[in-house]
Structure 1
């Protein structure tokens, strides 16, 4: 297992005390509930025509329409699901074979790539069982698209102030600090292209019709970096990855600096994360409390009480959750906090047999760039990349990872949920 050091964002730091870690016997803890939030798998750009226009260069050909899960992405997600199923079965949470009714619940964001990824994960977790994800009708689900819906709309001035604060008070000043990254991107796009039509533009804060904040200029550069990484992950020929400049996982990751900047400035804003992520975080917290002394009955709606809940979402959702948690990770060749295709935020609840107390383990797990590209079989000897969230006073280190008292963990989650950004939510 790969364990990395993580740091907490300012949102949670104020409530944390120095970490106290004690040894604990492995056989004293039983895994009894898991909520897993997974990003969709590998896809093409969501708007390849726009990227071709911006760069002035032809884009690689993909096997599926823009934004859809690819066959390669499906296979990588199946492998991740197969590995995760082995881990959860060995821990005694999942049965051999197909689960009984009420043991498993799966909800997918309504987009094609998330629905298809949910099917792929289910094929890996429960091969031959024919399980289907639950999906709402329409293109917006309040769990996954809260930031596009009126109930969680941002206050424009407060959102702008929060982003400016993260940018150091000046949009132009922030862009100046990323001149090297912008020049690196320009070199990739313009190399061998004469004349080069790609033009950098001044960054500008904007707000779309849904009320979401964006940084014009940076947004396009961020999409290019993410596209290069997806090209490598898909297994495209190396002369097509980043116009021939993505010959290794490390080279590709270095081209995502502006992708990271976009998330650092916007999604990691505590205010924006609390507006866009509270609906999902509230349902996760409610699920983790079920069947324990911390159980609550929320009049806005309760999640199904199952042993394993899988929510297939987007990197935006996971970025909001990590900000509310104060959880960051550094994995393999990825830049800090990166959320690769099918990367999963895992909430695992354990019961201590000797005391009857409940503990929570929060972890992030993802395949490396090479594992996705090569469709590497995942095993205990060759696992995906993994990071545990370190905790607060009272946390312990067991063979299963870092475990923190459930009551204290849920209190911290509740403190960071904006209850004015919640709406009634019901499951089938």
Structure 2
């Protein structure tokens, strides 16, 4: 028993000692940031969301799905942090404009790239690049023909993760679903009573449990817990945008974090299943790898993005980040969010470093502002920083979280194949 305890304590010590940054003897050569857009307005109207809640929802000042003014400012603050961070790391010089921006064809992704550029490359003429036509295979590969899609295989992969029992998966999340419903219905106790549930037009429990393909081959995946995901997303965005929840009790960052547990589980099931990522993110993963290989000692195995620029920014959506993560087996946790969640403005950051020995390695991190930093437009300077989590690449990363570029290449190519 004493030996086992000593081993566990030693393991915990080793884990907590993992460095958050590379050793000073390493030289940073290139960075690729795959990010989600910043705070946007809800996709559903306040009236539609209000069918599930006792109190009315606040109104956004922009059309559904648009980056908000506060969302834009928060992304600019994040861009300024990236600039200071990579200036300190020796990658960017004073007045350096060597950053390449690529955005998907939506207002929120284009505006996010432009807002990031204001902070990351101030004073530079930032061009927001896009594919010649929409949809863009980097972000919407399944919509680009001829796409190699197999909906039945994708559904089977999701089903296999939960033993083919979506109802059982939903029941395991019931306590967290009840907590979220208590917030919506402003119940005094958890779970809400039957009488309290009758006070609203729509209840979470009304959502059918279904996991099947429709007649056109599309995937139907619904349950009460999965219904939470869309509503919790709107709640998170409204809070991050600084909106006031008139008459609501208990709407704060910690309460929303608890609600995001169910949201995160749903997003994980829908998008982080590896087969989903393989079908949807293969193009992105291949071009990400080629971009990290460009200018390295390795042969370039695909089509790079960004020419010789030191930093490449890809501005996409939550699925852009989570499906890529599911494909490559990447996991993270930053304060204020569910495990593996794509936060507004947050992103996976891939860095190529060169060691003194000449070996080139890849380090992966996840970076995101917390909800209060978004809501309060907190400047990220001095001792104030976004959440930064070192990400382990399965079968590749070493004890210092560095992954040799040669092994990272094999990992990505294997996942895509």
The answer to whether TM tops 0.5 is: yes
The alignment status of 1:263 with 2:276, answered yes or no, reads no
Q: Does the aligned pair in 1 maintain the 2:142–2:148 contact within 8 Å? A: yes
Please give the secondary structure, in 2, of the residue aligned with 1:309.
Answer: strand
Quick one: distance in 1 between partners of 2:217 and 2:263? 21
Equivalent position of 1:47 in the other structure: 44
Name structure 1 gaps, 5 residues minimum: 1-17, 419-428
Structure 2 vs 1, CA of residues 185 and 283 (structure 1 numbering), >3 Å: closer, same or farther?
same
Quick one: distance in 2 between partners of 1:403 and 1:366? 21
Equivalent position of 1:159 in the other structure: 154
Moved more, 220-229 or 65-74: 220-229
Equivalent position of 2:5 in the other structure: none
Equivalent position of 2:328 in the other structure: 325
Residue among 254, 257, 277 paired with 1:273:
277
Name structure 2 gaps, 5 residues minimum: 1-14, 188-195
TM-score of the two chains, using structure 2 as the length reference: 0.85
Q: Does the aligned pair in 1 maintain the 2:257–2:336 contact within 8 Å? A: yes
Please give the secondary structure, in 1, of the residue aligned with 2:128.
Answer: coil
Equivalent position of 1:228 in the other structure: 235
Q: Does the aligned pair in 2 maintain the 1:56–1:197 contact within 8 Å? A: no
Alpha-carbon shift at residue 138 of structure 1 (Å): 5.0
Structure 2 vs 1, CA of residues 367 and 328 (structure 1 numbering), >3 Å: closer, same or farther?
same
Please give the secondary structure, in 2, of the residue aligned with 1:105.
Answer: strand
The residue correspondences of 1:267-416 to structure 2 (distance < 5 A) are 267-298=271-302, 301-305=303-307, 306-352=309-355, 354-390=356-392, 395=398, 397=400, 402-416=401-415
Moved more, 193-202 or 409-418: 193-202
Quick one: distance in 1 between partners of 2:214 and 2:39? 26
Larger relative CO (CA 8 A, sep 6+): 1 or 2? 1
Give deviations 1:194-242, integer Å, cap 9, x for gaps: 63212222221255799653422444321001111111111112x34xx
Please give the secondary structure, in 1, of the residue aligned with 2:138.
Answer: coil
Quick one: distance in 2 between partners of 1:308 and 1:120? 16
Quick one: distance in 2 between partners of 1:39 and 1:210? 30
Alpha-carbon shift at residue 73 of structure 1 (Å): 0.2
Q: Does the aligned pair in 2 maintain the 1:232–1:246 contact within 8 Å? A: no
Please give the secondary structure, in 2, of the residue aligned with 1:107.
Answer: strand
Q: Does the aligned pair in 1 maintain the 2:43–2:234 contact within 8 Å? A: no
Equivalent position of 1:93 in the other structure: 91
Give deviations 1:108-164, integer Å, cap 9, x for gaps: 011100000000000001123231211235542110011333444532221221111
The residue correspondences of 1:62-101 to structure 2 (distance < 5 A) are 62-99=60-97
Moved more, 118-127 or 327-336: 327-336
Alpha-carbon shift at residue 53 of structure 1 (Å): 4.6
Equivalent position of 1:61 in the other structure: 59
Alpha-carbon shift at residue 58 of structure 1 (Å): 3.8
Quick one: distance in 1 between partners of 2:71 and 2:377? 9
Q: Does the aligned pair in 2 maintain the 1:52–1:59 contact within 8 Å? A: yes
The alignment status of 1:204 with 2:241, answered yes or no, reads no
Quick one: distance in 2 between partners of 1:290 and 1:382? 33
TM-score of the two chains, using structure 1 as the length reference: 0.83
Quick one: distance in 2 between partners of 1:163 and 1:364? 25
Moved more, 197-206 or 60-69: 197-206
* CA RMSD between the two structures: 2.8
Q: Size of the alignment, in residue pairs?
A: 387
Moved more, 311-320 or 213-222: 213-222
